[in-house]
Amino acid sequence: MVPDCYRPAHRAAHIALIAESFARLLGRPLVDPAADVVAALWDAPRVIVAHGTEDDPVFFFGNRAALAAFECDVAAFTHMPSRLSAEAPLREERQALLDRVTRHGFIDDYAGVRISALGRRFRIERAIVWNLVDAAGEPHGQAATFTL
């Protein structure tokens, strides 16, 4: 069941941008476009996360698989600066990745180590990271998806 915090119309529209931007940039759907997009993203078997455009970007979405990988609940995840998903020595590598995504729109070859809220390290490979951009070209953050 999709968490209530993801259901308000303004929040659901922001979350829908994850799938819309993916389809626009990669030319294929992330989830079934005929489905309730918020529910489809929530229930996807792949980790799907997204952060905003703040100076220190904060996750605004993590699906069920992401919460399991990062070992936290939706309230904690959606208040976490995304930089905390990488260990301090790896944050420069993470920033270089995000800068590359900003320049090119998306990448589909990212690999790296992430850290859960409980301190467990896990490796991700072949992650797709893309810019969240609305139909008018306005940036709204970045998103990523990967399997464990």
Q: What is the pLDDT of residues 19-42, one digit of tens each?
A: 999 999 999 999 999 999 999 999
What's the topology of domain 4-146? Beta-Lactamase (3.30.450)
Which residue has 């303004």 as its token pair? 10
Mean pLDDT of 113-140: 94
- Using a pLDDT cut of 90, give the percent of the chain over it: 82
> Looking at residue 103, what is its pLDDT?
86
50 DSSP β-pair partners: 61, 143
Contacts of 88 (CB under 8 A, 6+ apart): none
- Residue ranges of domains in the chain: 4-146
pLDDT band for position 111 (cuts 50, 70, 90): confident
Q: Which of 3-7, 17-21, 64-68, 134-138 has the lowest mean pLDDT?
A: 134-138
- Using a pLDDT cut of 70, give the percent of the chain over it: 98
Decide: 53 and 139 in contact? Cβ < 8 Å: yes
Q: In what order do the strands lie in the sheet with 47-51?
A: 59-62, 47-51, 139-146, 121-133, 106-115
Query: For residue range 37-58, what is the model confidence (pLDDT) as tens digits?
Result: 999 999 999 999 999 999 999 9
